[in-house]
Amino acid sequence: MRRGETLRPFPKPQLAELMGATRDAGAAGFALAQIPAGKPVLWVQDRMCAEEMGRPYGQGLERFGADRHKLIAVCASDAAGVLWAMEEGLKCSALAAVIGEIWGDPAALDFTATKRLAMRSERTGIQVFLIRFAAGSSLSAARSRWRVTSSISAPHPYDPQAPGVPRWRAELFRARDSRPGLWEAGYDAKAHRLDLSSPLRDPALEEPPLRYSRAG
């Protein structure tokens, strides 16, 4: 890939699995940075995620171009309920994306469940992000699997005391069509784009930055 080349994060809608750190909303921000602005989003959490990570905050979502009035937030009692709601949501073609949050390694979240989500996502053309907390790397049919944590924000262009654009440490540890790698990710709000660049300091090993524009 050439330096400065602009790419979509996924050639087509698919199931992406994000392993997030507890008490860290970085994985959610990483997902939101890749969703088309202003379109409806279904966000489903199980009870533990809602209690430990908190519910989606509308004004915070707007930082990533989301319309809080078009957010459909659902809290299910368990993982089975989350998976059911996600599959039902994928029947609605008006959605830009479906986000699901599941805590731990529940029996309901097996390979078959992820396969169903992956197939429905690709069939309906709706991007799916499955965010997991306090979870192991069990078998999954997700087309890409990431470990995502928050990093120090970029410097603010006008106020050195204020936080700048959000940044993340993003490790792609398994994917069907891409090589594994580790990147520093940042959100470009004006361009509605997620930029990935290698944090490696050795120029011989450094990857050129990947610029991911939003779909849609």
Hey, what are 144's tokens?
A: 């890409």
pLDDT digits (tens, 9 = 90+) for 94-128: 999 999 999 999 999 999 999 999 999 999 999 99
- Angle at the Cα of 103 from the Cα atoms of 101 and 105, rounded to 5 degrees: 120
Domain interval for residue 26: 6-152+165-213
143 in any annotated domain? yes
Angle between helices 79-89 and 111-124 in degrees, nearest 10 = 20
pLDDT digits (tens, 9 = 90+) for 17-59: 999 998 888 999 999 999 988 899 999 999 999 999 999 988 8
158 in any annotated domain? no
pLDDT-derived band at 131, boundaries 50, 70, 90: very high
206 in any annotated domain? yes
Q: Could you tell me the CA-to-CA distances from 161 to 17, 53, 152 in Å, in that order?
A: 34, 26, 13
29 in any annotated domain? yes
CA–CA dist 111, 89 (Å, integer): 20
124 in any annotated domain? yes
159 in any annotated domain? no
pLDDT digits (tens, 9 = 90+) for 67-92: 899 999 999 999 999 999 999 999 99
Hey, what are 151's tokens?
A: 């990093």
Higher-confidence position of 84 and 210 = 84
pLDDT-derived band at 215, boundaries 50, 70, 90: very low
What does the mean pLDDT of the chain come to?
85
**What is the predicted pLDDT for the residue at 28?**
94
State the pTM of this model. 0.85
160 in any annotated domain? no
pLDDT-derived band at 9, boundaries 50, 70, 90: low
| CA-atom Rg of the chain in angstroms | 17
pLDDT digits (tens, 9 = 90+) for 139-160: 999 999 999 999 888 777 788 7
Q: What's the structural domain count of the chain?
A: 1
Q: What percentage of the chain's residues is helix, strand, coil (to nearest 5)?
A: 25, 30, 45
1 in any annotated domain? no
Hey, what are 175's tokens?
A: 């994917």
CA 174 to chain centre: 15
Domain with residue 57: its CATH number is 3.40.50.300
